[in-house]
Structure 1
Amino acid sequence: MKKLIFLLLFLFVLDANAQTATKEVYIFSYFKDNGQDGLHLAYSKNGLQWTALNDDQSFLTPEVSKDKLMRDPCIIRGADGLFHMVWTDSWTDKGIGYASSPDLLHWSEQQQLPVMAKEQGARNCWAPEITYDVSSKTYMIYWATTIDGRFPLIDSTSESKYNHRIYYITTKDFKTYTPTQLLFNPGYNCIDATIVPYGKRFVMVFKDETLNPVQKNIKIAYADKLTGPYSKPEGPITGNYWAEGPTTLRVGNKWIVYFDKYRDHQYGAVTSTDLKHWTDISDSVSFPKGTRHGTVFKIAEAGFSRLITK
């Protein structure tokens, strides 16, 4: 009963905040199937019910890499007013995809950023994301890579001997980039990091990829600087199911972490007010059928009106 009351109160506050706090619309970028048809977008005005845009057809077809995929698309609104997007463009390439847009409709020429080209043993570049640091006016792009032999393989049963850590580059203009560096090493295989500012700190939400003993869940770490060092992980914050691809949204004083329940072929979510105590609200969220690993961001209502009209 207490859990039901909490959930009803949460839904009430969420709806009230969504209607009165801003005139913004939440947008969810995601891929379907294997990512071969490109970028999909959905919208929500309460953070719970998500509706596909463009009849759930692709907004942008992938053009770079040998595989020409557009998996795990991450979009942020930059300080320059442009939407900047990165994505996984291949299963095995040493780069990631990048493009920008003023309106989510017209996109720049797609590029492949060769972020791990200098690492001979790098096997992949997965699930890149972008976070903006207001204080330094710098964007950090980060992703997961396995470099053969770089770290001890604690989990000897890891799928295909993958042993990911999180790496990063920074840029101020998406033209010049710093050399690739290690961002996060919790001592085990980890992927799908997403980082957001929270007061004077930064919160990283990521997937513990350990198979033996099985984890496959979402955890949290903190840092005083965007580039770290990050704290010992806390959690898991997800339940008895396999979860990946987390993304976060703040609505009033509520945190929502969405994630892909990839073995169940559905999306889930948990919520918290303090990042310590979490309630599963997976039964209260709905996404377009086939949604996979996405990120959430906000756009102005005026911009959304133009987007949905076109």
Structure 2
Amino acid sequence: MHTSCAPGTRQTAPGTSTTPARCDACSPGTYCAGGTAALVDCAEGTWDDDADPATTCVAWTDCVPGEHVGTEGSSTADRSCLECTNGEHTGTMNATSCSPGAWVLSYFGPAQDVPNDSLHLAYSTDGLHWSTLADGRPAYQLTGMGTNHIRDPFLFRKNDGTFVYIATDWTLANNDSNYWNRPSSKIFVADSTDLITFKNPRLITLTNLPGPSATPMHAWAPEAYYDPDRKLYAIIWSGNDTTGANRIYVSYTADFVTIVNPTPDVLFDPGYSVIDATITQWNDRNYLFFKDETDSSGGALTGSGKDIQIARSSTLALDPGTFTRWSPDYITRGSTQSRRRATEGPFVIKDPRQSRWYLFADYYLNGGVFGCWSTTDLDADPGSWTELPSAQYSFPSGVRHANAVRVTQAELDVIIAHY
């Protein structure tokens, strides 16, 4: 019996009664399964990532929205991706060039009726001055689902260029006071290709864990990010345990329909109650901004609470337990750390034209008033962020718990024309 050709080689002449089969090495950029299998060139869109013809070819890297193709791939080289610069953006996968960019702001209103507890939109081209869309009317208002109240909207562009809209499920309650007896462990989800039409409204359950006083754990302020290590989307949210303490949890999904981990993982727990997490990615690590939810009850671990702090991880993977808070200081208190500012619902954007970040936070006792703080160094002491005078930025009236998603100017033009 003749010895078969090994993987990575191909048979070029069969064996005879006196000679073995001839096996020639296959070239990089091909795949040879061995035996009598024919040589297979790496198909279009794939490459030989380890220069080993014994292993199968793998797909080129996809350039996601916000990036453009630097060099196209080949059978022996991966596609390279470059980030858009100078304020430009891309809205599709594997775009060949960038174009002028802008932001769309999502928020809900200050009153406790359905039109306010709905998705509202605004936009900005500089990240500081925001103009309302639809004259402040809801861009999307839920119907036919409980009380139709939804809060804390978050818009996220997926890797395929489409959008997902997620929000806190308030459909069991009519207002703040009766929500506490009817908390929800679900979040609201809808899909959109253009931020004009929203389809497939649904609720998905994030946990069956119990909350305090025999009520379900609530799932507050969900946000979504892509985890490149898991190749899954990570939904981060605030949940309360049986003692009432809040932590930041993470649920993973591939499609915003099915949750991969029905029992959620604790993403961040500094040892005291925290809510309203938002993440900014920079220099191959994640920065997590959050609200200290204690009320002078956090002990030696933190300050008097009710303001915004920051933690960071060492990689872009959204792994549970990898975030570290390196300072107890509050960003929103600046040099006067003893002065409570009563802020929540932070969101952070980077000026694409320079290394400068803006943090916006909701003065939650003031019915829709936001503050703004800025830094050029995310690793700086949190108390060193600069508070901007209110004359340097502007929001529509009554904005609550906002966040922003990047779009191209062409996409924004269509959105403005519609609303």
CA contact (8 A) 2:345 2:361 kept: yes
CA contact (8 A) 1:132 1:140 kept: yes
1:43 to 123, 128, 137: 123
Q: Residue 123 of structure 1: CA displacement?
A: 3.5
Corresponding position of 2:349: 249
Q: What is the percent sequence identity of the aligned residues?
A: 32
Q: Residue 291 of structure 1: CA displacement?
A: 0.4
CA contact (8 A) 1:24 1:299 kept: yes
1:280 to 387, 393, 412: 387
Secondary structure at the aligned position of 2:289 is classed as strand
1:167 to 249, 254, 270: 249
Corresponding position of 1:155: none
Q: Determine whether 1:131 maps to 2:225.
A: yes
CA contact (8 A) 2:206 2:259 kept: no
Higher helix fraction: Structure 1 or Structure 2? 1
1:231 to 303, 316, 324: 324
CA contact (8 A) 1:64 1:110 kept: no
CA contact (8 A) 1:64 1:89 kept: no
Q: Determine whether 1:300 maps to 2:300.
A: no
Q: Determine whether 1:34 maps to 2:87.
A: no
CA contact (8 A) 1:64 1:111 kept: no
Distance (whole Å) between structure 2 residues aligned to residue 34 and residue 186 of structure 1? 32
Q: Determine whether 1:198 maps to 2:282.
A: yes
Runs of 5+ unmatched residues, structure 2: 1-85, 90-97, 171-178, 298-303, 334-338
CA contact (8 A) 1:30 1:73 kept: yes
The AA in structure 2 aligned to 1:299 is V
Q: Determine whether 1:146 maps to 2:240.
A: yes
Distance (whole Å) between structure 2 residues aligned to residue 58 and residue 204 of structure 1? 29
Q: Residue 18 of structure 1: CA displacement?
A: 5.1
CA contact (8 A) 2:101 2:408 kept: yes
Which of structures 1 and 2 has the bigger CA Rg?
A: 2
The AA in structure 2 aligned to 1:253 is S
Distance (whole Å) between structure 2 residues aligned to residue 66 and residue 184 of structure 1? 31
Q: Could you list the per-position Cα deviations for residues 62-119 of structure 1 after superposition, in whole angstroms to 9, with x for gaps in the alignment? A: 2476442221101111101111111011241111111110001111121111112354
Q: Residue 49 of structure 1: CA displacement?
A: 1.0
Q: Name the TM-score, length of structure 1 as normaliser.
A: 0.85
**Relative contact order higher in (CA < 8 Å, ≥ 6 apart):** 1
Count of residues in Structure 1 that have an aligned counterpart in Structure 2 = 283
Q: Name the TM-score, length of structure 2 as normaliser.
A: 0.64
Secondary structure at the aligned position of 1:204 is classed as strand
CA contact (8 A) 1:65 1:112 kept: no
Corresponding position of 1:112: 203
Distance (whole Å) between structure 2 residues aligned to residue 207 and residue 287 of structure 1? 21
Per the alignment, do residues 269 and 130 of structure 1 end up closer, same or farther by CA in structure 2, a change over 3 Å counting? same
